[in-house]
């Protein structure tokens, strides 16, 4: 039905909540999955929990350079159909005029690595079909997140990267992004603890989202059903944003 059976999918941030959910969805539809993450222990736990057999492999990397990005994709061992870039860093930004490090880390871990791995994908894509790239932006790019300015800017950059690559890579690869908001993961737990009630008041559906609700949209974007969709950023936010 989805047309991804035996296709090779690479998922960065694969040990995170959304990355793991994406892997589970892809495996359920018959894909081959390579999970990439910087945390080897969490990556191994994720691999064991998914029980993907010979269709699931892992690679540990911080994706800190173009070479690292290329090496990560090469770990798939075969041409790549889909690249799902979920790796990211959600760090508080004190706006310290004497310390640029939060900004630098936000750009490196949320945007630069996405650029590097998408560039590396060009020479490693499955040329027998129309490929897929799905980036993870955030609702932060539209409305900003208090205390996390650098993160908000980096996620806006992902939208620009999606739009630029969708034209550059047409027609051989479809490039889209998802923009989740208020999803229950380890990354968002501290924010929910601080101001979860206030966030819920902005969500018409009246609840937080689950990683599986992002994964289902990502899987659709990688499917044959999304064959005329590129350059788009899809809000997944329970109706919080309407324009």
Catalytic residues: 151
Q: Which burial class, exposed, middle or buried, applies to 156 when counting CB atoms under 10 A from its CB (0-12, 13-18, 19+)?
A: middle
Tokens describing residue 125: 């894509």
Q: Does residue 212 come out as left (phi exceeding 0), alpha (psi in the -120 to 50 range) or beta?
A: alpha
Other CB atoms within 10 A of residue 172 CB: 12
């Amino acid at each position: 039905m989805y047309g991804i059976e035996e296709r090779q999918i690479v998922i960065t941030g694969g040990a995170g909540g959304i990355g793991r959910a994406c892997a589970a969805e892809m495996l359920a539809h018959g894909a081959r999955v390579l999970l990439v993450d910087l945390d080897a222990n969490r990556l191994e736990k994720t691999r064991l929990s998914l029980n993907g057999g010979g269709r699931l492999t892992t690679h540990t990397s911080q994706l800190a350079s173009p070479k690292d990005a290329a090496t990560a994709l090469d770990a798939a061992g075969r041409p790549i159909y889909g690249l799902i870039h979920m790796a990211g860093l959600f760090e508080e930004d004190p706006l310290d005029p004497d310390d640029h490090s939060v900004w630098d880390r936000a750009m490196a871990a949320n945007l630069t690595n996405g650029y590097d791995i998408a560039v590396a994908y060009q020479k490693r894509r499955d040329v027998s079909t129309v490929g897929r790239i799905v980036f993870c932006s955030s609702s932060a790019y539209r409305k900003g997140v208090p205390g996390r300015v650098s993160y908000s800017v980096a996620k806006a950059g992902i939208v620009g990267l999606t739009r630029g690559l969708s034209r550059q890579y047409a027609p051989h690869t479809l490039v889209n992004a998802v923009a989740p908001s208020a999803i229950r993961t380890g990354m968002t737990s501290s924010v929910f603890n601080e101001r979860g009630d206030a966030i819920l008041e902005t969500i018409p559906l009246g609840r937080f989202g689950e990683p599986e609700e992002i994964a289902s949209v990502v899987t659709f974007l990688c499917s044959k059903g999304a064959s005329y969709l590129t350059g788009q950023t899809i809000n997944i936010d329970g109706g919080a944003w309407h324009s």
